[in-house]
Amino acid sequence: MDSTEIKNTDTTAGITPMPRIGDKAPEFKAVTTQGDINFPSDYKGKWVILFSHPADFTPVCTSEFMTFAKREPEFNALNCQLVGLSIDGLYSHIAWLRIIKEKIEFKGMKNIDVTFPLIEDITMEVAKKYGMIQPGESSTKAVRAVFFIDPKGVIRAIIYYPLSMGRNFDELKRALIAMQTADTFNIATPADWQPGDDVIVPTAGSCGVAKDRMEAKEEGVTCHDWFFCTKKLSLEEVKHQKK
């Protein structure tokens, strides 16, 4: 049995190993608060942030859903669809989202209408496919997982949070923009990068290129050493890239 077979059949304690960066996003069909979906095929050509939360009618999750809903237009403008999931049922989802809209006010947010899909996953089928159930944290609730899936249906980044900690939405947006920018301009982004900051150019692949860079012969490139070179990439260029 090869390593791939081991990975696909390892279901210790009924838990399927989570997919990895670079894997195709596992496919599934689901009922959501916005109708049935086929994932990820329904979102081909879009980025998707698929995220899980522990349970409906819980305070941290309520604060997160209000924030996601308020900031949904920012993600939509980046060609990104939000898709939520918990192991609660559809009617629980609907009741919770109605209460959020009608009763909850938090940090100046009120009358918040959650319009992105929220998946019903009572059987935990989807949560198990994506490794969202982690018994060391909880065997009955999904942790706060975030999967960034690109327009080709490939997982590009994964972030996990414990049940007790709400997510940082500025970081989720920054990560999305950084990945899109890396794809568009064939660059990498340094620590704490923000749109408009200098970016990292690919490491020199030959002695000749390394020499030219160190002698400042490559226009627009600043080298701190032969393997670490940066260049300007304006905020306007980042804003107007094809998503």
Report the half-sphere exposure of 169 (CA within 13 A, side-chain side): 13
The verdict on whether 223 is a catalytic residue reads no
pLDDT 10s digit of each residue in the chain, 243 long? 344 433 443 444 555 677 999 999 999 999 999 999 999 999 999 999 999 999 999 999 999 999 999 999 999 999 999 999 988 999 999 999 999 999 999 999 999 999 999 999 999 899 999 988 877 777 667 789 999 999 999 999 999 998 899 999 999 999 999 999 999 999 999 999 999 999 999 887 787 877 777 777 778 888 888 889 999 999 999 999 988
Q: Where are the domains of the chain?
A: 3-182, 187-239
Same fold, 3-182 and 187-239: no
Residue 31 neighbours by CB under 8 Å, 6+ apart: 90, 119, 120
Reading the block at residue 125, the tokens are 């089928």
Give the residues across from 52 on adjacent strands.
Answer: 85
Marked catalytic residue, from 61, 80, 223, 229: 61
CATH 3.20.20.20 fits 187-239, yes or no: no
Looking at residue 8, its pLDDT comes to: 42
pLDDT (0 to 100) of residue 207: 79
pLDDT at res. 9: 39
> CA-CA distance, 217 to 222, in Å (whole number)?
10
pTM: 0.88
* Confidence (pLDDT) at 50: 98
What pLDDT does residue 6 have? 37
pLDDT at 7: 42
Find out whether 167 is annotated in a ligand binding site: no
User: Which CATH architecture does the domain made up of 3-182 adopt?
Assistant: 3-Layer(aba) Sandwich (3.40)
β-sheet bridge partners, residue 185? none
Residues in the chain: 243
What is the pLDDT, as a whole number, of residue 224? 87
Residues 151, 21: Cα–Cα separation, whole Å: 14
